[in-house]
């Protein structure tokens, strides 16, 4: 068998003959805290875009159909946008804002302890 044969779970590298990289070694780059927080920041920014879309649709329905006022979507958009930008810039206050939302929900839905 030639030296170019690959073993299962390994990939050939372009750097030299016989150099192999395991897939798990390449995935370790994505498990750093910086990358995880940046991915969370992008997800939060997508959530902010969704809240802005909902607010715009509600604003339109209020003008045309005299519908209910769901202006809290704007405040949710402002919160998610602030947290998303903060997580992308790796700021500590963004993590506090992210956790403050869950504390607020627990306090408002479950009542005082």
In the chain, where the domains are located? 10-105
How wide is the angle at C-alpha 109 spanned by C-alphas 107 and 113, nearest 5°?
A: 45
pLDDT score of 112: 65
Lowest mean pLDDT among 53-62, 76-85, 93-102, 103-112: 103-112
When pLDDT is cut at 50, 70 and 90, the band that residue 18 belongs to is very low
Structure-block tokens of residue 102: 């869950």
pLDDT score of 17: 47
CA 92 to chain centre: 16
Q: How far is CA 60 from CA 51, 66, 73, in A?
A: 14, 9, 13
When pLDDT is cut at 50, 70 and 90, the band that residue 111 belongs to is low
pLDDT score of 4: 58
* Continuous segment of H or E residues that includes residue 100: helix 92-110
Question: Residue 36's CB: how many other CB atoms inside 10 A?
Answer: 12
10-12 and 20-22 beta bridge pairing: antiparallel
Say which residues have a Cβ less than 8 Å from residue 86's Cβ, sequence separation at least 6.
Answer: 41, 93, 94, 95, 97
């Amino acid at each position: 068998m030639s030296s170019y044969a690959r073993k299962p779970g390994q990939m050939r590298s372009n750097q030299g003959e016989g150099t192999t990289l395991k897939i798990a070694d390449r995935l370790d780059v994505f498990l750093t805290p910086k990358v995880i927080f940046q991915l969370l920041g992008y997800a939060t920014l997508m959530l902010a875009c969704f809240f802005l879309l909902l607010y715009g649709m509600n604003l339109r329905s209020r003008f045309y159909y005299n519908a209910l006022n769901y202006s809290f979507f704007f405040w949710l958009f402002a919160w998610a946008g602030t947290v998303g930008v903060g997580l992308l810039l790796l700021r500590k206050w963004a993590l506090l804002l992210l956790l403050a939302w869950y504390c607020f929900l627990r306090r408002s839905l479950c009542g005082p302890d």
